[in-house]
Structure 1
Amino acid sequence: MNFFEFIFQDWRVNKGNVKGRIILLLFRIANFCSTRKIYYYIGFIYLLFYRILVEWFFSIEIPWNVKIGKNLSLFHGQALVMTNQVVIGHNCTLRQSTTIGNKQLANGNYSTSPIIGNYVDIGSNVCIIGSITINDNVLIGSGAIVVKDVPPYSTVTGNPGIAKPRKDTTPIV
């Protein structure tokens, strides 16, 4: 994948969403710089610019070195927070006020962060924390608190999040 394909990989799925397009374009450039050593040194100024613009002005914390698959759709980009250990698959959707990260364990250490599969649709105001896996084709309802693994083709709702199998097992598009 060349540079332009890489940085514009989320463009189509965010059609009509100018803020989402801008944030993801800035993220992909920063991610490109951070994952290639030669660009990391050259791109240091850009990485600083990214952090100030995206975190301070847009109020979104997407670390530049997080692993995110292609076609990420970002709705109402506001108050989205994730750690740099998060892994997000292809064709996922994130909405506002969502937290994805690790949790503090009883011994004072921190867990690893969630791994989110492909075709996962995450509603607004969702909290996904801990060493968990959200499998492919999962819908997570608004306000859900997810602290356990979620099987594929499930819908998660509530606090704590309860996964229920979906009857429709066609991939979420």
Structure 2
Amino acid sequence: MSYLFQDWQSNRKNFKGQLVLFMFRLASLINRSMIAKVIFILYLLFYRYLVEWIWGIEIPRKTKIGKGLSLFHGQALVINQGVVIGDNCTLRNSTTIGHKKLADGTFSRCPRIGNNVDIGANVVIIGDIEIGDNVVIGAGAVVTKSIPANSVAVGNPARILDKKETAANA
């Protein structure tokens, strides 16, 4: 039961975020078993209809997301099912995270995002890249290259603005 509510605390005072992530966690749980998918097909269709079509938040049930995800103003949020997101991350509105089309017509792998990553509004993160732990990505950034841990990235294309001070560095 705690699996379903693992994002509840990080979305305090944000009932929509709590509800979306509860529904996502339930859909992910159902997705683990073919029998459950058959039994709960109506729920999976309802999840897709309500969350994707009505609220405009695309978080496929197969996406791997760590605990403590926080959604701020989730409208126009698009996450590809191949994306991996670590623990205690924050996503804001109008953000796209997914693969990119390669020159040969195939698609790249999706981004892998570390723990404690704060992603601003209107950010695009695409391609086979890694975002390290404790990274802040500023609003409007377009990230197509990996970002090392403990960094602040901004701009289009995104560039490392600053290395964040950590307890180990201080």
TM over 0.5: yes
Could you state the TM-score of these two structures normalised by the residue count of structure 2? 0.95
Structure 1 unaligned spans of 5+: none
Matches within 5 A, 1:55-134: 55-134=52-131
The one-letter code matched in structure 1 to 2:50 is L
Instruction: Say if 2:98 and 2:126, in contact at 8 Å, map to a contact too.
Output: yes
Residues 170, 79 of structure 1: alpha-carbon distance in 2 compared, 3 angstrom cutoff: farther
Instruction: Say if 2:125 and 2:142, in contact at 8 Å, map to a contact too.
Output: yes
Determine which of 129, 138, 141 is the counterpart of 1:141. 138
Structure 2 unaligned spans of 5+: none
1:5 to 2:7 alignment = no
1:43 Cα deviation after fit: 1.8
Distance, in Å, in 2 between the alignment partners of 1:10 and 1:121 is: 15
Distance, in Å, in 2 between the alignment partners of 1:5 and 1:30 is: 15
Deviations 1:51-103 (A, max 9, x none): 00101110111001100000000000100001100000000000000000000
The one-letter code matched in structure 1 to 2:52 is E
Aligned residues: 168
Report percent identity of matched pairs.
55
1:170 Cα deviation after fit: 4.9
Single out whichever of 162-171 and 107-116 deviates more from structure 2.
162-171
1:38 to 2:10 alignment = no
Residues 164, 143 of structure 1: alpha-carbon distance in 2 compared, 3 angstrom cutoff: same
The one-letter code matched in structure 2 to 1:5 is S
Deviations 1:12-64 (A, max 9, x none): 11000011111111111101101233322222211111000101110111001
Deviations 1:106-138 (A, max 9, x none): 111111100000000000000000000001000
Distance, in Å, in 1 between the alignment partners of 2:38 and 2:87 is: 28
1:154 to 2:151 alignment = yes
Distance, in Å, in 2 between the alignment partners of 1:27 and 1:14 is: 14
Structure 2 equivalent of residue 22 of structure 1: 19
- Cα RMSD, aligned residues only: 1.3
The one-letter code matched in structure 1 to 2:155 is G
